[in-house]
Amino acid sequence: MRVCKVDLHVHSPYSRVEKDVLRRVISSESYTLPEEIYYKAKKRGMDFVTVTDHNSIEGALEIAHLPSVFISEEVTVKFPEDGCSIHVVVLDINEEKHREIQRLKDNVYELVRYLHSENIVHFVAHPFSSVDGKLRKEHWEKMLVLFDIFEVRNGTQKEEDNLLLERILKDLSPEKIEEIANKYSVAPLSQTPWKKSMVAGSDDHSGLYIGKTYTVGEGPSLSAFLNSIREGRCKPEGRGGSYLTIGHSIYATGYKFYKHKAGKNSKIRFFDMILDDEKKGKVLEKIFLSNNRRGLSLFPKNLLVYLFIKKFSKKMSFLSSIAAITEFTRNLPFYTALFPYLFGLSYQNKDRNLTREIKREYLNCQDGVKVAVFFDGKIPDKARGLPEGENIEVLGCGKIRKKKKGFSLNGFTLFPPVMDFSFPFCPEINFSFPPLIELVSYCEKREFDLFHVLTPGPVGVCGILASKILKVPLIGVYHEGLLTPFSPLFSKDNLKNVVWLYLGWFYNQMDRIIVASEKEAEILERKNIPGKKIEIVPLLEGKDFSWSFESLDKIFNDGAVLKSLFKTYKSFY
């Protein structure tokens, strides 16, 4: 029997921006014209073509005269009890059905009944990705009862979430569905609601990924294909996304927005070439994501002056300030260019707590707490490592002699610096900035449950950023010994105030702060750190908290201290 391939989730300029803030800057979520969608989909082997714009069928109608096109849309549907929105894709509809769907979209229960009565094929799009930040486990479980078809492979969602969804749906049983239906008093509308049909779509907004993720079903006719979806005789194909997918898409969409505003004749040939296809778009990765890439040097411009400053900044304190400014100006354009990829990481992890909660319950995953410790001190190549038996890993940054990409030994992972300079006025302290994208991506893959920031330097700041991006709880530690290297700054009140202004911001980012004594807790509270965040761990009193590996070694190889720290870690769960 002949099979058909269809990308069931693609956007055109008729997908209007729904959020008010963004609408002031950009009107559409995509600037890929419907005709371009059609020809790219056909070129990449799709047998039928549809456009699934948000609450609109205008894009699909624009190409409805072309062969093998059918009309669809992605509907923003609400749970009436609390207003939580989800996205539901409806396939092969007409203008009359579109109007009725729009009328019913504010009540998911009424809409689902209508779709069933009209025998309209429909599926939940990206079920683990919140539309408005309100998605909770109860909404997810209600979806399991209400819907029979799910998008288990979405081209913008990370592959781990796609695979998790597919695994859970395959393991559903009649007893589980009955349990959920009774729990929420929601009745399924099909005879076998535990048997889910699974589809795929690229969810493309940029034109780069059309037809890269798709559904395979029976053919050769559209009705046969839709029936195979309805009856679960279809198969999701292609791949999920990553932060690279979203970063590339943002650049491609931004360029198409520029062309839309400036006119068709305002083309930049280089961008037309690299943003026309995903493979050519890999150029962006090479430009922006090289681990050791340095930014343009804006100050000083004279190479000899720059080398002089680098060489003597540790011996002449005033030069350390100039060296720090130089490094920032050299790397600022580079870090600015990384923003779309950081956004991609943040977007793909915005519902991380939900997926972990569902994973623990539905797959019975009850692993121990997995902790990443962020440390700014120097970690030597011959570190003896952390004690075995505890699920903890220390992340640091520094120059690596033997390996170019990274160093890992017995619980230590060292990232190469993209910036490296002496701290102003304290040239004996060297600050190294790790590659932020690489570090956050590493933490995402390792699936840490908790971040522990040990030092308030660049690696510690990256720990804060990683926590915000990946939605991971954050613990900090404050000890008077941490500030000993900065004591020369405290001789001047204005510099002391600047340091505490920074430390106040730093520690306010923590969910909890560990201190060794009442005295240190009082110091933080006087600096407007909420007392409810502070926890005293007496075993830390008297420990050396200098910015050296030796201090770290003493803390994490002390069995009593480590046991006490893990008690604090586990209190989060």
9 and 153 housed in the same domain? yes
Lowest mean pLDDT segment, chosen from 123-127, 263-267, 322-326, 419-423: 322-326
Write the CB contacts of 98 (distance below 8 Å, at least 6 apart in sequence).
Answer: 57, 71, 73
Of 53, 50, 48, which Cα lies nearest the Cα of 68? 48
Assign 318 a pLDDT band (cuts: 50, 70, 90): very low
The reported pLDDT for the residue numbered 55 is: 95
CA atoms of 425 and 320, how far apart (whole Å): 7
2 exposure class (CB count in 10 Å sphere: 0-12, 13-18, 19+): exposed
pLDDT, greater one: 58 or 486:
58
Considering just the CA atoms, what is the radius of gyration of the chain in Å? 27
Segment 61-79 shows an average pLDDT of 96
Work out the average pLDDT over 109-134.
95
CA end-to-end span of the chain: 52
Structural domain including 143 reads: 3-247
pLDDT band at 360 (very low <50, low <70, confident <90, very high): confident
Instruction: Report pLDDT digits (tens) over 448-505.
Output: 999 999 888 889 999 999 999 999 999 998 887 777 666 666 666 667 777 788 889 9
Residue 523 lies in a domain: yes
pLDDT at res. 296 = 41
- 401 burial class (0-12, 13-18, 19+ CB within 10 angstroms)? exposed
Residue 329 has pLDDT above 80, yes or no: no
What is the spatial distance between Cα 455 and Cα 478, in angstroms, rounded to a whole number? 8
Query: What Å distances lie between residue 243 and 112, 128, 354, 355, 433, CA to CA?
Result: 33, 16, 19, 17, 21
Q: Is the pLDDT reported for residue 403 higher than 70?
A: no
H helix or E strand, kind and range, residue 419: strand 419-423
Residue 306: inside a domain:
no
> What distance in Å separates the CA atoms of residue 248 and residue 202, rounded to the nearest whole number?
14
Domain match, 95 and 236 both: yes
Does residue 261 carry a pLDDT above 90?
A: no
State what percent of residues in the chain have pLDDT above 90: 47
**Alpha-carbon distance 210 to 204, whole Å?**
6
CATH of the domain at 131: 3.20.20.140
Considering 194, 223, 247, which residue would you say is the last residue of a domain? Answer: 247
Mean pLDDT over the full length of the chain:
82
Mean pLDDT in residue range 310-319: 50
Given pLDDT bands bounded at 50, 70 and 90, which one contains residue 389?
Answer: low
pLDDT at 412: 80
What's the pLDDT score for residue 39? 94
Lowest mean pLDDT across 93-97, 240-244, 480-484? 480-484
Q: Which residues pair with 374 in a beta bridge?
A: 395, 453
The answer on pLDDT for 328 being more than 60 is no
Residue 522 lies in a domain: yes
Question: Can you tell me the distance from the alpha carbon of 411 to that of 471, in angstroms, rounded to the nearest whole number?
Answer: 23
* DSSP of 16-50: B--SHHHHTT-SBS----HHHHHHHHHHTT-SSB-
Q: Tell me the pLDDT band of 292, cut-offs 50, 70 and 90.
A: very low
> How many whole angstroms separate alpha carbon 201 and alpha carbon 74?
12
Looking at the structure of the chain, the number of domains it has is: 2
Residue 67 tokens read as 């062969």
Mean pLDDT, range 542-561, rounded to an integer? 70
Where among 214, 247, 280 does a domain terminate? 247
Q: Is residue 301 helix, strand or coil? A: coil
Question: Is residue 332's pLDDT more than 80?
Answer: no
Looking at 247, 279, 298, the residue that finishes a domain is 247
Separation CA 408–CA 398 (nearest Å): 12
Candidate ranges 144-158, 395-409, 534-548; pick with highest mean pLDDT:
144-158
Domain annotation covers residue 499: yes
Task: Decide if 51 contacts 12 (C-beta within 8 A).
Answer: yes
**Phi and psi of 207, rounded to 5°?**
95, -10
The verdict on residue 316 lying in a domain is no
Report the pLDDT value the prediction gives residue 406, as an integer from 0 to 100. Answer: 45
Residue 530 lies in a domain: yes
**Local structure of 426: helix, strand or coil:** strand
What's the pLDDT at 527?
86
The pLDDT value given to residue 271: 64
Block residue for tokens 């050519």? 280
Helix (H, G, I), strand (E, B), or coil: what is residue 269?
A: helix
Inside any domain, residue 557 = yes
pLDDT given for residue 561 in this prediction: 76
Residue 95 in any domain: the answer is yes
What is the CATH number for 419?
3.40.50
Residue 242 scores a pLDDT above 50: yes
- The helix or strand, by DSSP H or E, that contains position 98, with its residue range, turns out to be helix 95-104
